[in-house]
Chain A
Amino acid sequence: DARVTQTPRDKVTEMGQEVTMRCQPILGHNTVFWYRQTMMQGLELLAYFRNRAPLDDSGMPKDRFSAEMPDATLATLKIQPSEPRDSAVYFCASGLAPAREPTQYFGPGTRLTVL
């Protein structure tokens, strides 16, 4: 059963610390998305990659967030320095494009709490 995996599942950190979240997309998928979910803003697209190349990171605060795909099996989202307003659930999703119905398969999320 192919699934997107994310680590860690939960992260509590102090303001100012660096946070790194990891995602393993479904094998064979060529598109990876990073979303942030909060009660106030819903699901926000932070960045997405196709064939490991960043296509759009306009949703990310550039001064503190960075996203990379070191290889086809790993995507990372880094926050440095973290702030309390970054507290949210971060989802990674993967998919295959182009496709008539480009389904996104979401991971279980990383719940980040910044104190």
Chain B
Amino acid sequence: QQQVKQSPQSLIVQKGGISIINCAYENTAFDYFPWYQQFPGKGPALLIAIRPDVSEKKEGRFTISFNKSAKQFSLHIMDSQPGDSATYFCASGGYQKVTFGTGTKLQVIP
């Protein structure tokens, strides 16, 4: 099974700081790279996604940076807030299905 490697496993950031989560994928045929956010007791929900035809996508405080040659992509959360405390999953794949990374538990402390 194609792997998606995600790091770090956990992250503690001060309120107002920048949270950065990294992912690496293997299959160059993948053309869809979403990030999902999961709060305790809930199912994951799509946060933001990118296609490889662009190198960056920004939605509010959340930005995906994509490096096709390195087969890496990352999520940046600017001005991190306590309400952003959740587990974040990167994923990669195509229109059929995606493979999820192992998750990063983010804690934003006041």
Interfacial residues, chain A to chain B (CB-CB below 8 A): 4, 33, 42-43, 45, 48, 55-56, 91, 93, 97-109
Q: Which 5 A-B pairs have the closest CB atoms?
A: A106-B43, A43-B100, A42-B102, A98-B95, A103-B46
Provide the bound-state CA to CA distance between A89 and B23, in Å: 24
Residue of B51, B97, B102 with most partner-chain A CB within 10 A:
B97
Interfacial residues, chain B to chain A (CB-CB below 8 A): 32, 34, 36, 41-46, 49, 51, 89, 95-103
B102 CB contacts on chain A under 8 angstroms: 42
Provide the bound-state CA to CA distance between A48 and B95, in Å: 13
* In contact, B97 and A33 (Cβ under 8 angstroms): yes
* In contact, B49 and A101 (Cβ under 8 angstroms): yes
- Can you spell out 14 A-B residue pairs with CB atoms less than 8 angstroms apart? A42-B101, A43-B100, A43-B103, A45-B100, A56-B97, A93-B43, A103-B34, A104-B98, A105-B45, A105-B46, A106-B43, A108-B41, A108-B42, A109-B42
Provide the bound-state CA to CA distance between A14 and B50, in Å: 44
A56 CB contacts on chain B under 8 angstroms: 97
B45 CB contacts on chain A under 8 angstroms: 105-106
* In contact, B97 and A48 (Cβ under 8 angstroms): yes
A107 CB contacts on chain B under 8 angstroms: 43
- The answer, among A45, A97, A100, A101, for a CB contact under 8 Å with B99, is A45
Provide the bound-state CA to CA distance between A76 and B36, in Å: 24
Provide the bound-state CA to CA distance between A99 and B49, in Å: 13
A48 CB contacts on chain B under 8 angstroms: 97
- The answer, among B49, B96, B100, for a CB contact under 8 Å with A103, is B49
* In contact, A109 and B43 (Cβ under 8 angstroms): yes
B98 CB contacts on chain A under 8 angstroms: 102, 104
Beyond the given pairs A102-B95, A106-B45, 7 more chain A to chain B contacts, judged by CB atoms under 8 angstroms and listed by A's residue number, are A43-B44, A91-B43, A101-B32, A101-B51, A102-B32, A104-B46, A107-B43
- The answer, among B32, B43, B101, for a CB contact under 8 Å with A108, is B43
Provide the bound-state CA to CA distance between A48 and B49, in Å: 21
Whether A106 contacts B97 in the complex (CB less than 8 A), given A42-B103, A100-B51, A101-B49, comes out as: no
Provide the bound-state CA to CA distance between A101 and B36, in Å: 13
